[in-house]
Structure 1
Amino acid sequence: MVKVCGPKLSLCGLVISVWGIIQLTLMGVFYYIRAVALLEDLPIEEATENSNRTIDEFIAQVESGYTQNAYNCWIAALLYVVTLVVSGHQFWMNNRSSVSM
């Protein structure tokens, strides 16, 4: 196995990955349960003067936005899991090589 980064960088990657997994998983849960505090972050098209958007279309767009943002957060959390595995491997490689010297 190859060492790509040093012990400090791998430890930093571990800490940031754990924090990212926790934060993005919780945000995904809050988007999934449709927390009102996150409404401003939804990708909703602005209504123009000439558009005749009904309330049902607006609700469907809000529901779709919440669901899509939840999935986006969970996908990003999975990417942080990959980063956690790589950083953990590098941290283990650095500690193993320092003990054997």
Structure 2
Amino acid sequence: MAENTFMGVPREKITWAPVIDYTRCNYCLECAKFCPHKVYEMREEEPRLIVANPTNCVVFCRACAKTCGPDAISFPEKSQVLEAIKALRQDEGGK
């Protein structure tokens, strides 16, 4: 199985994943229904929606946040993530 990378960096080293604001989330599950990458899960025992598989999230995709009516989903700043990717590439001998 091929390693999942983005711009030459292993995906698990890239801090791009949704953050849920639980003070806004109404648990409609639109984000989970919309995302084909199974990033979200509903935990019955809590019950609450969680980011269960953050590395499944496509780097720089924000589509689930656009489906969120209460605006409860946010992402890191793209510029900060790009800077981190550049630093990781340099650490790994990349360009």
- Same structural fold, with TM-score higher than 0.5 when normalized by the shorter chain: no
Give the TM-score of the pair, scaled to structure 2. 0.32
Higher strand share: 2
| Structure with higher RCO (Cα < 8 A, 6+ apart) | 1
* Rg (Cα) greater in structure: 1
Give the TM-score of the pair, scaled to structure 1. 0.30
